[in-house]
Chains A and B, each alone.
Chain A
Amino acid sequence: MVWAFWLVAAIIIVSALGVVGFANLIHSALALAATFLAVAILYLFLAAEFVAAMQVLIYIGAVAVLIVFGIMVINRSGMQLSNPSGKTVLGAFVVAIVTMAVLLLGILNHNWPVTQQNPPDDTIAVMADLVFNRFLIPFEIAGLLLLVSVIGAILLAREVRQR
C-alpha cells in the first residue's frame, strides 16, 4: 500500500499544480476534477468509504460540473489565456511557501496521539449513527443551509428588479 499512497499523492500534487498553472480555464477545471478523484481514492485508503462516495458525487458530480457551467456562462470570448495570474504572483508564491513551511514544521515536530486500533469493518453504520443521532441538529441545519444558499444563488443570478 505504500507505493499506492505515493502514486496517489503524486497525482494529487501534479493535478493541483495544473489547476493553478494551466492558462486555459477549462484545463484547470479538468485538473480540478482529477484532484477531487485522487482525494476520493485517498479516502478509500483511510477507510472512509462513505466520504469517498460523497466526494465523487458532490465534488465531481456537482461542484466541478457547476464550475464548468459557470465558465460556459461567463467566458464568451476565446478560452486561451482565460486563467491569467495577476500582479500578485510573487507575493502569493512567498505566502504559500511560508504557509507550507510553517505547517510542515508543526506537523513533523508535534507528537500526535496516534493509536494502533483498526477502524470497524462497517464504517457506514458508524457514520449513520453519528449523523442521525449525535449530529442530528447540525445535519438538519446543514440541510437548511443548502436550501438558503440555493434560494440565494437563484435570487442573485436572476437579479431581482427594483420596483
Chain B
Amino acid sequence: MITLQHYLGLGAVLFAIGLFGTLSKRNVIGILMGVELMLNAANLNLVAFARFVTPLEITGQAFALFTIVIAAAEVAVGLAIAILLFRRRGTVNADDWNLLRW
C-alpha cells in the first residue's frame, strides 16, 4: 500500500538532489537544472496532497499547474540572462559572474 508518506519522502529526496545540484554546480545551466528538479519535487508534493488529503476538490492539482507555468517563465528568463552574460563575459562559469558581489 503506497501512502502519502511515500510520495512526500520521494519529493524530499528529489528536492535534496536538486538542492545539491544548485549549490555545487559551476555551469549556470547546471544550476538551472537543479532548480527545475526542486520545482518538480514541490509539484509532486502538491499533487500527492490533492490525491490523499482532498481527493474530491483537487485544489493541489490547480496549484501544480500554476507552478508549472511559473517554472516555464523562470527558465525562459534564466536562460536569457545566461546568454546575455555569456555574450558580455565569455564564460558560463557562475564563479566568474561576481559583478553583484560586494
Contacts and interface: CB of A to CB of B under 8 A. Distances in A.
Contacts of B84: 156-157, 159
B50 A48 contact: yes
Interface string B15-27: 1111111111111
Contact of A19 (B12, B17, B61, B92): B17
Contacts of B83: 70, 73-74, 156-157
Given A48-B61, A63-B75, A156-B80, A20 B92 contact: no
A17 B71 CA distance: 20
Interface range for A? 35 or more
Contacts of B17: 13, 16-17, 19-20, 96
Interface string B31-58: 0111011001001100110111111111
A73 B29 CA distance: 11
Given A39-B44, A99-B19, A48 B51 contact: yes
23 contacts: A2-B1, A19-B17, A20-B33, A20-B37, A39-B44, A46-B51, A51-B64, A58-B69, A67-B33, A67-B36, A73-B83, A74-B82, A92-B22, A96-B20, A103-B16, A107-B8, A108-B5, A114-B4, A123-B58, A126-B58, A131-B65, A148-B73, A153-B77
Given A25-B27, A25-B30, A107-B5, 10 more contacts: A13-B10, A16-B37, A28-B33, A46-B7, A66-B76, A84-B25, A103-B12, A104-B12, A142-B66, A150-B76
